[in-house]
Amino acid sequence: MASNRQTIPPRARRRRVGRPSGDDNDLRARLLDAAIARFAREGIGATSLRAVAADAQVTPAMLHYYFGDKAQLTRALLDERLVPALAPMRARLDQVGDDPATLVAGFVAGIAEIVRKHPWLPALWVREVLCEGGELREALFDKAIPQFPQMLAQRFAAAQKDGRLNPAIDPRLLVVSLVGLTLFPAAGAPIWKRAFGAHDLDANALSAHTLALLDGGVQPPRTRRKSNAIRK
């Protein structure tokens, strides 16, 4: 809403009409970058192609030239940005063994790496996957993470059968909890950093905390067996 007054074009940064000279050969990638940044910040539905074009200092017609229409742009974003961003996680989890502790550690580290490399991802995930009616939810169900959560849950369940996982937790919900302890804090970082004034907490601190919580829970090592405040 606020950034849409372009009737007076800034004289400085204005391209001449016609084919430009020089090497602007990765413009398509720049358009994708601009689009994904806007989509993450405002949501796909609320983002106009004009805004994306303005961010990339280009006219809306360029988006049509490179992508056709908005749906195809979104699809390109999914295929060329989101799916590749998530891909390393699968490889990583295939490498670590079947032990729950290493699986969990691998997941936490994997999300941390993804978030570090693609800062737009948590917000986009929340908006377009977590929210009902998000435009990427169905697509991700179909192609990106076909049976990824199920695979994780099954490995947890197998470990639980072998007595290598806390028997009181649910293997499927553990996957949900892992997302809630990694992607969710990443998406909410602006909030809690401000709420706590916690500018000393970086990604490493978050990972360490999360791993400690997942490893031992809230109680201190000593009183684990004696204090049965939450014992069924």
Partner DNA sequence: CAACTAATTAAACAGTGAATTAAATTAGCT
Partner DNA sequence: AGCTAATTTAATTCACTGTTTAATTAGTTG
Site for DNA in 66-125 (CB under 7 A): 68-71
The answer to whether residue 164 forms part of the interface with a second copy (CB under 8 A) is: yes
> What is the C-alpha to C-alpha distance for residues 80 and 215, in angstroms, rounded to an integer?
35
66 DSSP 8-state letter: H
Say if CB 122 and CB 114 are below 8 A apart: no
Q: Candidates 51-59, 108-116, 122-130, 200-208: pick the segment binding DNA (CB under 7 A).
A: 51-59
The answer to whether residue 127 forms part of the interface with a second copy (CB under 8 A) is: yes
Say if CB 144 and CB 79 are below 8 A apart: no
> What is the C-alpha to C-alpha distance for residues 31 and 216, in angstroms, rounded to an integer?
45
The answer to whether residue 54 forms part of the interface with DNA (CB under 7 A) is: no
Q: Which two tokens stand for residue 77?
A: 């974003």
- Residue 132 binds what, of DNA, a second copy, none (CB under 5 to 8 Å, by partner type)? a second copy
Q: How far is the CB of 213 from a second copy (least distance, A)?
A: 5
Q: Candidates 45-53, 166-174, 181-189, 199-207: pick the segment binding DNA (CB under 7 A).
A: 45-53
The answer to whether residue 91 forms part of the interface with a second copy (CB under 8 A) is: no
- Residue 60 binds what, of a second copy, DNA, none (CB under 5 to 8 Å, by partner type)? DNA
How many binding residues for a second copy (CB under 8 A)? 79
Nearest to a second copy of 20, 217 (CB atom): 217
Distances (CA, A) of 70 to 23, 65, 135: 26, 11, 12
17 DSSP 8-state letter: S
Residues 5-44 that bind DNA (CB under 7 A): 9, 14-22, 24, 27
Distances (CA, A) of 76 to 48, 70, 170, 193, 205: 16, 10, 36, 33, 34
